[in-house]
Structure 1
């Protein structure tokens, strides 16, 4: 079967820190190697699940250079470039392109609860990045608080040549994906979902071709996407039912801390430290995460041992 160009599982790489909060650069390389061994179709860096909001501008550039050099074309890499200021987003897009990134991902312009880009400003920012000449994934996430109705997304897809992918992770994502695909047609080249795949089956049924999860269990979620695309619906549903308890625990209890907790348990990284003001996982929450993960025997728990 010929799969769409933008399909499969493209997880977000977590950013490991040492116990004192410094970037763990050897750990970052190990995270990337693990993800490739997990059978991912692509890797996203510097996203929300990479703790981009806790990383300095200098660290962003350092991580971008390190990740692209280390992956070295083994899989495509998406670099997240979101920022409220359009000139900064454009500058980040140019750097990502110059360093060899395959795609950039961005949310609409926002800064806090009250400074949100209008429909026109959102269009203009994406249009400006489109002129850089690198494919764009639009991230429609509740974090931005910006309303992105389907007609606006379709207009952007049709008028901004480089806007090719859409990561839809708003409430009722399946309904929005279905409407986006129906109204946007061929302009919607890569309809993806997110939110750790907690709504994956409904989103695939609505026409999603890919998913952007955490890096915790892509080796177990990737086959669900491929089975569904190949028409093996029963197999996809059975595997999804198997992993859903840990996906639910990750999504509702742990967030981005789950992948690093699992990677530390499996010897991939030495610390699951998160910078203040993010609190560490409660020991009971961590224990249940590992209790749910262990019977699944994911690569993350064995790769570093």
Structure 2
């Protein structure tokens, strides 16, 4: 089938002032930069947005600002994950009323030991699906919840709004391949995640899109586009060019990488991350820039 969801849908970082308060002016610049990077959609309030370091009041402020500022230029996906089903439902209704295109959510979990059972996970996604927005299931190691392929297929087949799957567990390509084979047309958006560290294998397995950070989506987008067009050799070459930077982001920096690049390129004013997150070590940051500069990405030139 021709799967309707494809392309690159990166996660927007949340910029803070050096005193730790939200930098809303920089937030609008982040969104504009991401659109200029060629993003096919934008995800906000995800883990790479530091959603676990943001208050409920700040979530509301950021959601309103982002949806108003993007103003339909690209679809906006809002992360609504919460252990409490009622809160996940409330968040979904709130963002639907504001015009969000989709929500993303992990299985219910809290800490290392409180994990939703398959039944509880199904019930939570069903309750959120009843609000009527498409859902991207985030299969992330962070939750610690195992989401076996039969459960995901059952959700896709029986919950109308469960349409997309961001697979970033160990062995993502094998899981994507099995999910697509078992789920067929119900798997409308099989997506790669985890900063594209396994993107080529995931595309080979049938992924049609990727959710990366906002660091270099303009450099990763051609990999996806060429692969979807049948040019695997071109996609392989393009992927090889950017993989060292992706590896450094994924293994050394995490969500701090996009902020560092955006400060370097004049997109945002500060790469501050709230405690207990530590700033990047100067050598780690310098190594990242050494890998990014030869790529000449949009992010390093956008604000200059």
> Same fold, TM exceeding 0.5?
yes
Partner secondary structure for residue 266 of structure 2: coil
5+ long unaligned stretches in structure 2: none
Question: Equivalent residue of 1:22, what SS?
Answer: coil
The Cα of 1:233 is off from its aligned counterpart by 1.1
Q: Matched residues in 2 for 1:252 and 1:74: separation?
A: 32
- Counterpart of 1:155 in structure 2 is 154
Q: What is the CA-CA distance between 1:238 and the residue it aligns to?
A: 0.4
CA drift of 1:232 comes to: 1.1
- CA distance in 2: counterparts of 1:296 and 1:190, whole angstroms: 29
Deviation at 1:74, TM superposition (A): 0.2
Q: For residues 61 and 138 of structure 1, what CA distance do their matches in structure 2 show?
A: 22
Whole-Å separation in 2 of the counterparts to 1:146 and 1:235: 36
Task: State the match for 2:291 in structure 1.
Answer: 292
Match of 2:243 in 1: 244
Residue correspondences, number: 304
**What SS class does the counterpart of residue 137 from structure 2 fall into?**
strand
Instruction: Name the residue aligned to 2:229.
Output: 230
Could you tell me which residue of structure 1 aligns to residue 277 of structure 2? 278
Residue aligned with 1:161, SS: coil
Q: CA deviation at 1:3?
A: 6.2
1:53 is the counterpart of 2:86:
no
Structure 1 stretches of 5 or more lacking a match? none
TM-score, scaled to structure 1: 0.99
Note the alpha carbon deviations across 1:127-183, whole angstroms, 9 max, x for none.
000100000000000000001000000001000000000000000000000000000
Aligned residue number for residue 262 of structure 1: 261
CA distance in 1, matches of 2:226, 2:93: 36
Q: Residues 178-230 of structure 1: CA distance to partner in whole angstroms, max 9, x if unpaired?
A: 00000000000000010100100000000000000000000000011000000
Shift >3 Å, 4+ stretches: none
Q: Considering only aligned residues, what root-mean-square deviation do their CA atoms show, in Å?
A: 0.8
Corresponding position: 1:213 with 2:212: yes
